[in-house]
Amino acid sequence: MATRISRKTTVKRKTTKKNKSNFKVNLVLISILLIGFIFGIYHYRNAILYYFSFKSEKSLKDDKVSQARIYQILKAHKDLTFGFDVSQFQGKINWNEVDSVDHKFPLQFVFIRATAGNNKKDIRFDENWAAAKNHHFIRGAYHYYRPNENSLEQAANFIRSVRLQKGDLPPVLDVEKFPKNQSIDSLKLGLQRWLKKVDEHYKVRPIIYTSEKYYNDFLKEDFPEYAFWVANYNFFVENIKNDWLFWQFTEKAKLNGIEERVDVNIYNGTPKMLQYLTISN
């Protein structure tokens, strides 16, 4: 009698609704990321082509992402006015070579650190101040404010060190730090005292430099009569805002004649408008 061999029935595993749902979610997320990546490549296509394909071997060693952003922003603001700022930390500058960013975007103004706190004078201020004038840059001087030092003594230090002339930009108060042993209200009072003292001496209202967060959180509402020079290096910030007089959008620019990286700025107006901002007498 033949033995019957029973066939083993193959059991099919059904895909659960949960697995299908997870698959769909993952597919959507991957699609969003892919679309974002493609959009980013397209949005920065000119900058990427410029910096990744046509630059020299030396430039290829630089931070390509930062350099692409600099190119993109300058190109998008080509109708405005470009400048830079320096201090002793940029070292000895060959002012004969400083004229533009990549020979494409002319530089027309420069802010130069003059003083810090109640007794510090930038060791290269006099040299840079004279050279900027000789090389036909519209120049401005700034003071680095130390919150824990007397504000009037700091104003006196700036006044003692800086002689503004016709054609120069108004003085600038650079505030970045928070006080250690005083309140924010006391800090604001000190800033007001510095601004008033400097205004009375030069007969021109100073400009305030600070970060965007500092500006929005602490200074914007309490100093409405002052113009602001705002720093924001965020990769996703691509346009100067209406209430910013100047925008410092990078600290990583490479300029001919300067060994160290440099801050580059955009003035929210044309070169002719910048002339109107300067001291007239």
Q: What is the SS3 string spanning the chain?
A: CCCCCCCCCCCCCCCCHHHHHHHHHHHHHHHHHHHHHHHHHHHCHHHHHHHHHCCCHHHHCCCHHHHHHHHHHHHHCCCCEEEEEECHHHCCCCCCCCCEECCCEECCEEEEEEEECCCEECCCHHHHHHHHHHCCCEEEEEEECCCCCCHHHHHHHHHHHCCCCCCCCCCEEECCCCCCCCCHHHHHHHHHHHHHHHHHHHCCCCEEEEEHHHHHHHHCCCCCCCEEEEECCCCCCCCCCCCCCEEEEEEEECCCCCCCCEEEEEECCCHHHHHHHCCCC
Which token pair is 274? 């910048």
CB-count burial class (<10 Å; 0-12, 13-18, 19+) for 113? buried
Structure tokens at 61: 């060693």
225 catalytic residue (yes or no): no
85 is catalytic: yes
φ/ψ of residue 76, rounded to 5: -70, -20
Angle (deg, nearest 10), helices 45-53 and 64-76? 130
Catalytic pick among 153, 176, 217, 243:
176
Distance, in Å, from the CA atom of 104 to the CA atom of 94, rounded to the nearest integer, reads 19
Determine which one of 85, 122, 168, 263 is catalytic: 85
Catalytic residues: 85, 176
